[in-house]
Amino acid sequence: MAFLVTESEHALQVLQDIKPDLLLLDYFLPYMNGLDLYDYLHRHKPLNDVPVIMISANLPCQEVERRRLVGLQKPFELDELLATIKTLIA
């Protein structure tokens, strides 16, 4: 099952009830950027092992690497995204 949320606050609400297999986060989100959302979620034990793909046209690569996240620079090919997802959830 997939969920699409477009705001970090909504993501926090949805993630209270489910544990996803993977998070695909855009760096530029309203109210809280994707890295801040990741940091918040990572502090909560049930979610700290969920793989994350951070995407953005202006990806802060050093911050993504420091957190050991997978980053995809927009624009990217759908095949690249699907291969990355397959690698992370396999």
Q: What is the pLDDT of residues 57-87, one digit of tens each?
A: 999 999 999 999 999 999 999 999 999 999 9
Range of the domain at 82: 20-89
**Quick check: is 10 in a domain?**
no
**Quick check: is 11 in a domain?**
no
Task: Kindly report the CATH number assigned to the domain that includes residue 53.
Answer: 3.40.50.2300
**Quick check: is 35 in a domain?**
yes
**Quick check: is 6 in a domain?**
no
Q: How far is CA 23 from CA 20, 76, 89, in A?
A: 7, 17, 11
pTM: 0.89
Query: How many distinct structural domains can be found in the chain?
Result: 1
- With beta carbons less than 8 A apart as the criterion, state whether 27 and 33 touch: yes
**Quick check: is 75 in a domain?**
yes
**Quick check: is 69 in a domain?**
yes
Token readout for 68 is: 């050991």
Q: Where are the beta strands (DSSP E) in 1-90?
A: 23-26, 52-56, 70-73
Residues 2-61: pLDDT tens digits? 888 888 888 888 898 888 999 999 999 888 999 999 999 888 878 888 999 999 999 999
**Quick check: is 70 in a domain?**
yes
